[in-house]
Structure 1
Amino acid sequence: MPPKKQVEEKKVLLGRPGNNLKAGIVGLANVGKSTFFQAITRCPLGNPANYPFATIDPEEARVIVPSPRFDKLCEVFNKTASKVPAHLTVYDIAGLTKGASAGEGLGNAFLSHIRAVDSIYQVVRCFDDAEIIHIEGDVDPVRDLEIISTELRLKDIEFSEKSLEAADKIARRGGQSLEVKNKKEEMALIERIIQLLKDGHRVANQSWTPKEVEIINTMQLLTAKPCIYLINLSERDYARKKNKHLLRIKEWVDTYSPGDMIIPFSVCLEEKLSHMSEEEAEEELKKLGVQSALPKIITTMRQKLDLISFFTCGPDEVREWTIRRGTKAPQAAGVIHNDLMKTFILAEVMKYDDIVEYKDEGAIKAAGKLLKKGKDYVIEDGDVVYFRAAAGKN
């Protein structure tokens, strides 16, 4: 008999399974977090049309996602009245202090803010400035990384020990019930997590089975969140692509946060660019021989969160929608409006490359490239979609 076909088990992501996900800016005091937040929420780079951002409150804003595909579709549908790009919600979290896990500084309030976001931008200071005093007395980015890592791990150990205690109460009932069996397995997992944290590692950087991920997601651990390390350099160091701390930072991340990305940037430069016109900013970057890091910072976080885009295009609007990779057509329709998911009939799908090539829906149909897909179709990154629902075409 032929061997049974192996069915690949779908990977379950750490974190909540949503589309409107939030990235938090984390770091010690005076490392450039708030200046970075102000720059990233106002900077038009990567978006020639200079779309406005929507401020939600003083510490939270929607950041436009740089998207060459969106800009190209706006060109193709040049009579479009409305253009709505995708966004990423960014939250500026107050500076952490040593001892936060035990209530020092803002303590629990700070850590609860991190618990409420889905991913972390960790800003690390690598510039010297006599006028900006470092909370620890001098600039030592690896020490700063250790402080934040320690505080988040200590809080996660506390969360994990509470989860272990709750599971143990059920497991001690004894017997052969499925609930008791599951709780014993859960306890073994939590004990592994506690040891991992005590050894200095983050939960997000480990390999977990789908069943383990489901348990970890209920624990809302701080170190289970995707992280990107933003290395804040002086404008001079960013332009010359050198800094004495970079190698040590890379060694630390490779050891304690393997697989996570390090992005060098200059808050000072980005803040300056954010107050310039597009032409002035381009000239300044050309003079320095560098590019703004903000587009990469935004798009890399979307990739970390496993987010992709689909588009709806027409004479009235071009819009980019955000969904989690692996989303099926009815659920994608539900991102537009819940009723579309409930009354979904089919999705008419055009590929982005075909629109760029043919530049006309009629020509795409004539070429046989307008695809009609049902409820099991998984939306692909860059799809241009019209959803048909019970009430007709939407």
Structure 2
Amino acid sequence: MPPKKATEDVKSNVVAFGRVRKNLKMGCVGLPNVGKSSLFNLLTEQSAAAENYPFCTIEPNEARCAVPDLRYDFLCDLWKPPSMYPAYLQVTDIAGLIKGASQGEGLGNAFLSHIQAVDGMYHIVRAFDNDEVLHVDDSIDPVRDLSKFFFHFIPFRASFIIAEEATVRKAGGKFKMNPLFPSTTTKIREMLEKDMPVRDGQWTSAEIELINERLQLITTKPVIYLVNLTMKDYLRQKSKYLPLIAKWVTEHGGLPRDIVPFSVEFEEKLFSMKDDATKLEDFMKDIKVKSRLEKIITEGFTKLGLQYYFTAGEKEIRCWTIPKGCLAPQAAGAIHGDFERGFIKAEVVAYSDFHDLCVGAKSMAPVKAAGKYRQEGKTYVVQDGDIIHFQFNVAPKK
């Protein structure tokens, strides 16, 4: 009988632009006075300054908001454990961009570093007329504002700010150019010259790793376009600006689902009534639309390439955030590094199977009887909403 092969670590199979980790951030970006800080406050229930003048926000405000999920609510209601932990989305409120920022004017240099520190962007676009709310260009034109952000700042300053560093790499006492660098940067230039973000190109895993390691391009970050409407336009679900915004977004690499119309005015109205259920019910009974905050949070979480699995039991219900495509050992590592190192197997049931088969009981017995409770090894790709129990063996440290 041949000897057993030595156990090999299974590497993560996640290949994506940006950092591969669980605590990724969405940044609220855009021009001044478009509703960034007001939205940030609504999402996170904070009290960040949101005044009617440019650069009200200087240093980024950071907070987190719980990711809404009916699956998590069901598990919590079923077990009613003493400890319950939802998934969270990290959100950063970044100062507004103005003309000349790419040359360091205003908060341009700080803006660059702040936006490079986040992993995805909520690009808030103003699509409402209000003489009492200042606009840096003294007129409302969402397409102009989108173009200013995309063209004036990102392609030139951000995309190649450290490209020179990537041209050479010291190896064996000699300077050697990464062989992928010339072709990769050529593709990047061609895309930017066509007004297309780098994230929408066709890239190999090696090219993605090079861009992540050396270039740190802002146009690789995923974007959700949040269109801030008046409450009147939001309630009637119409705006003269929306078709123009949709046309611009789709022409620059975006998809229709990347556009989320909402209204800070409407959301603040709802928030002001959150402690008066009767008043809120009266206000909402004849309204056909609802709050978009939950959609904004879940879309942001999804855009970052994140998902989570559940651990469930009498003591605790918890969501564990992981990158999409994560293998079982790395998913176990989200709980503790020792779990990844000593991974043996994962006992898994899909949430939908548990929901349909548990018949209101906490027991896994009916799930097992139906053959839906299974054992998975190191190569299992964890699915969003899996309920998992890990088995591991941690050798004592020498």
User: Does the TM-score normalized on the shorter chain lie above 0.5?
Assistant: yes
Determine helix, strand or coil for the equivalent of 1:369.
Answer: coil
Supply the AA of the counterpart residue of 2:233.
D
Q: Does 1:206 align with 2:208?
A: no
Contact 1:157 1:194 in 2 (8 A): no
Partners in 2 of 1:135 and 1:70 — Cα distance? 43
- 1:192-341 correspondence to structure 2 within 5 Å: 192-218=187-213, 219-259=215-255, 261-277=258-274, 279=277, 280-341=279-340
Match of 1:98 in 2: 99
C-alpha separation in 1, matches of 2:79 and 2:329: 25
Corresponding residue of 1:61: 63
User: Counterpart of 2:197 in structure 1: which amino acid?
Assistant: R
State how far apart, in whole Å, the 2-side matches of 1:291 and 1:138 are.
Answer: 29
Give TM-score, length-normalised by structure 1.
Answer: 0.85
Q: Is residue 152–residue 222 contact of structure 1 (8 Å, CA) maintained in 2?
A: yes
Say which is worse superposed, 370-379 or 359-368, in terms of deviation.
359-368
RMSD: 2.4
Q: Distance in 2 between matches of 1:289 and 1:19?
A: 36
Alignment match, 2:384: 381
* SS of residue paired to 1:288: coil
Contact persistence 2:168–2:176 (CA under 8 A) = no
Question: Which residue of the partner structure matches residue 16 of structure 1?
Answer: 19
| CA distance in structure 1 between the aligned counterparts of 2:167 and 2:76, rounded to whole angstroms | 57
Aligned position for 2:374: 371
CA contact (8 A) 1:285 1:292 kept: no
Unaligned 5+ residue runs, structure 1?
1-9, 44-56
Distance, in Å, in 2 between the alignment partners of 1:350 and 1:300 is 25
The amino acid of 2:27's aligned partner reads G
Q: Any conservation in 2 of the 1:11–1:210 contact (CA below 8 Å)?
A: no
SS of the aligned residue for 2:285 comes to: helix
Out of 59, 73, 76, which is 1:74 matched to? 76
Query: Residue 191 in 1 paired to residue 207 in 2?
Result: no
Q: Answer yes or no: is 1:28 the counterpart of 2:31.
A: yes
Where 1:208 maps in the other structure, the secondary structure is: coil
Aligned equivalents of 1:388, 1:310: Cα separation in 2:
16
Distance verdict in 2 for CA 1:193–1:288, change over 3 Å: same
> Which residue of structure 1 aligns with residue 135 of structure 2?
134
More helix per residue: 1 or 2? 1
Aligned to 1:287, the other structure's residue is in SS state: coil
CA deviation profile, 1:327-346 (whole Å, cap 9, x unmatched): 11111111011121122222
C-alpha distance in 2 between matches for 1:285 and 1:93: 32
CA distance in 2, matches of 1:168, 1:373: 43
Letter in 1 for 2:155: R
Q: Is the 8 A contact 2:17 2:220 kept in 1?
A: yes
Contact 1:205 1:259 in 2 (8 A): no
Separation in 2, partners of 1:282, 1:377:
46
Aligned to 1:52: none
TM-score after normalising by structure 2: 0.84
Provide, for residues 258-278 of structure 1, a one-character-per-residue CA deviation record: whole Å limited to 9, x for no partner.
Answer: 336111000111122223227
Query: Does structure 1 conserve the Cα–Cα contact (< 8 Å) formed by 2:87 and 2:319?
Result: yes
Q: In structure 1, the residue corresponding to 2:136 is in which secondary structure? A: coil
